[in-house]
Chains A and B, each alone.
Chain A
């Protein structure tokens, strides 16, 4: 992987098209995720949250895939290679990751929320995509792109479960979402230094806009289809850039 990154760097150097000052010397970019509900930190199993319909709930699991990440600048993009990350609220190490990027000034971040369709049809995968991560449907091949499990007194399910396993990569059932996050201030990547981009998620986005979804009516979603697409339309708006820490 490092070898391929190097080749890309060389190619980009050869092209010499860094109009806004990108140079071939790489710097480090650290992306961190802070998962919240309307800004309140998520303590799994304990914090009680209230949704816009006055339904209360706790979150026991919260995981999602970030893939095909790239930094943007006016003339193009810098793509992270082999870009697959599982952000898992129960695993502190998964909440941030780093990669080397061309030094220069960037104005935004793009990524896919989920796992691209190619990796859903290409057999056994490893790393973040290992089926051991419990984000893979065995009966209807495909990755669960985002998962929330919890409990709510308003749930009619056994043990008051709330369970949203959102997946579907093909055709009309696709829940894949391209996320674009413009940076509030320019991001500078400098040779040999680390730039940190802190992204905040707001789980409350799952409940509304554009689709109002109450726990009492939809306590579970565990297959591709209309409900999954509605939830994905909502959660595609859960990200914002909270802070840029330039070197």
Chain B
């Protein structure tokens, strides 16, 4: 055999090997850049370790962020997760009692803010969802929210080569499936931590409360903290706080999930962190201001409801000055380092909210 032929054969073989190598390279990626998940100093360990089987990585987080802001997760493209969960409102629906959904619909509950979800044992106002990863299935498929179905979402994502690249970077191969999409979303939403408000700075000795804020904090610890304990400002329990039933919504809360009459009218205790940014208040957004909320605790509680929380049987009397001080204190729970953190922001498009 002539040397030239041998060289040609070698070249073909080597070229072939290179091609195979290149093909493989396109299929699989190396491990992503894992991120260490840190619990703020002095905070309890989360009830469920949401990143134990969904290892947090920069690529997974960035994919989750893209998905969170992508309207293609909704039927007509107008309702990304972020349409109801706006960063400037601590990821709640700013200034909306109920949120807008697909095809001129309304949701039936006030969109809760999203932060410190790693500590939340059950999601939704009625606790119907038991894991952060499966939560997005509910708004994506609800006809009055994103109005889509899962097959269709995955088809849309698979047509986008930037998603193929990002799924590959996050999970090793470009396969796009529901489990990966949900895990990526959980990496983003689960990473949103709010632990740097003025209150936190005061606790760390980096700032001081004003006279009014301190008075409000004292009142808070004596009257509110049994359901809204520090540092998360909720115990995540389900309680009835004596609101009259809205006759249009007829929402009995947790009873729908457990089927137990004892759970009638109970809703999850929300965190008070960022509460100044998350108006309107309550599960149906019925109160426009903190002032109105405190008026309810002071005089509005319907004490005859059988499932009313025992801590509220005598209501919570608040004198005028105390109310003002408490509201000053509640404003110290706003965390602009979270609501303005570019890491959690998206390329805001012109979607409906």
Contacts and interface: CB of A to CB of B under 8 A. Distances in A.
What are the 10 A-B residue pairs with the smallest beta carbon separation, nearest first?
A123-B133, A124-B182, A124-B133, A138-B138, A138-B137, A123-B131, A141-B130, A126-B179, A124-B179, A140-B128
B178 A124 contact: yes
A131 B150 contact: yes
A139 B179 contact: no
B259 A224 contact: yes
Given A123-B53, A141-B134, 6 more contacts: A122-B131, A123-B134, A125-B179, A130-B177, A139-B124, A139-B138
Given A123-B182, A173-B259, A131 B134 contact: yes
Contacts of B133: 123-124
Interface string B116-159: 00000000100011111110011001100000001100100000
A123 B186 contact: yes
B150 A132 contact: yes
Contacts of A125: 179
Q: Indicate the size class of the contact surface on chain A.
A: 20 to 34
Given A124-B179, A124-B182, A126-B177, A140 B134 contact: no
Interface of B: 50, 53-54, 124, 128-134, 137-138, 141-142, 150-151, 154, 177-179, 182-183, 186, 256-257, 259
Contacts of B150: 131-132
A138 B134 contact: yes
A122 B177 contact: no
A138 B140 CA distance: 10
A187 to B, nearest CB: 35
Contacts of B186: 123-124
Contacts of A142: 130
A225 interface: yes
A121 B259 contact: no
A183 interface: no
Interface string A161-175: 000000000000100
A201 B142 CA distance: 34
A136 interface: yes
A223 interface: yes
A102 to B, nearest CB: 30
A93 to B, nearest CB: 18
B131 A141 contact: yes
A139 B178 CA distance: 17
Contacts of A122: 53, 131
Nearest to A141: B130
Contacts of A121: 130-131
Contacts of B177: 126, 130
